[in-house]
């Protein structure tokens, strides 16, 4: 069975969505994303659910060299959850152009491309990208995962800070970007309240010379029919 941390996808893609990015040498974001071929990140992934269950896993990401994609080079990034991503960078920012899971014969294009970080890299810069509810589940329905019935939710991102310190198992990092993401998914919560907009929130920290060092995802349920929770990615090692 594939790990639940395959959401990385989805985070900025659960990434992963989020925080899934790579860039060309010399690109404006190169200091925030030194993701040319040969880099490797290992994250501690902790999931806490409303039903008092928890999970702890490890997720490793690697950057490979560029590959031709639709006639243009794109950086390839792999995760040990079985998902690969192709990304590009230009003056507009860092964006994902395709992804591929174990079930796909070929890379699946993102239409339109999905921003991971949008320039300028300063407080107030905003963009939006698609996400899904990676933690919200129905208690007594099949399939339980909300993401199967609501696979494409718009999340709005804002660069909230550009000079923060972050502590992780890999050490303390300075002068980091903090990015906030917010969205909601409209689901049937319970007979008392009916249909409700359930909040999805993400906070991501990107640090110079390293990239993504921490990600926090919150999907509270507050419903007898649903289970929500939180998921945290913390950098354990990188090279």
- Say how many domains are in the chain: 1
Q: What is the pLDDT of residues 74-113, one digit of tens each?
A: 889 999 988 999 988 888 988 899 999 888 889 889 888 8
More confident residue, 29 or 155: 155
Closest CA to 198 of 188, 180, 184, 183: 184
Helix, coil or strand: residue 84? strand
Residue span of the structural domain in which 30 resides: 4-238
Phi, psi of 133 (to 5 degrees): -85, 105
Q: What is the pLDDT of residues 158-195, one digit of tens each?
A: 999 999 999 999 999 999 999 999 999 888 877 777 88
Instruction: Name the percent of the chain lying above pLDDT 70.
Output: 87
Predicted TM-score (pTM) of the model is 0.85
CB 97 within 8 A of CB 105: no
Q: How far apart are CA 135 and CA 221, in angstroms?
A: 9
């Amino acid at each position: 069975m594939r790990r639940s941390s395959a959401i990385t996808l989805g985070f900025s893609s659960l990434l992963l969505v989020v925080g899934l990015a790579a860039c060309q040498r010399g690109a404006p974001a190169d200091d925030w994303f030194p993701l040319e071929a040969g880099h490797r990140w290992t994250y501690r992934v902790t999931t806490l659910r409303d039903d008092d269950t928890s999970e702890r896993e490890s997720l490793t990401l690697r950057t490979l060299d560029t590959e031709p994609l639709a006639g243009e080079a794109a950086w390839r990034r792999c995760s040990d959850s079985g998902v690969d991503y192709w990304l590009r960078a230009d003056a507009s920012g860092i964006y994902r152009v395709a992804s591929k899971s174990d079930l796909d014969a070929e890379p699946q294009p993102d239409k339109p491309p999905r921003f991971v970080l949008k320039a300028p890299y300063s407080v107030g810069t905003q963009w939006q990208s698609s996400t899904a509810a990676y933690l919200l589940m129905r208690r007594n329905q099949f399939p339980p995962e909300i993401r199967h019935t609501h696979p494409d939710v718009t999340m709005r991102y804002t660069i909230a800070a550009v000079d923060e310190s972050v502590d992780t198992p890999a050490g303390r990092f300075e002068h980091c970007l903090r990015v906030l993401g917010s969205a909601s998914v409209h689901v049937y919560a319970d007979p008392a309240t009916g249909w409700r907009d359930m909040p999805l929130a993400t906070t991501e920290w990107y640090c110079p010379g390293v990239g993504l060092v921490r990600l926090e995802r919150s999907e509270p349920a507050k419903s007898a029919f649903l289970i929500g929770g939180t998921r945290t990615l913390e950098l354990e090692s990188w090279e």
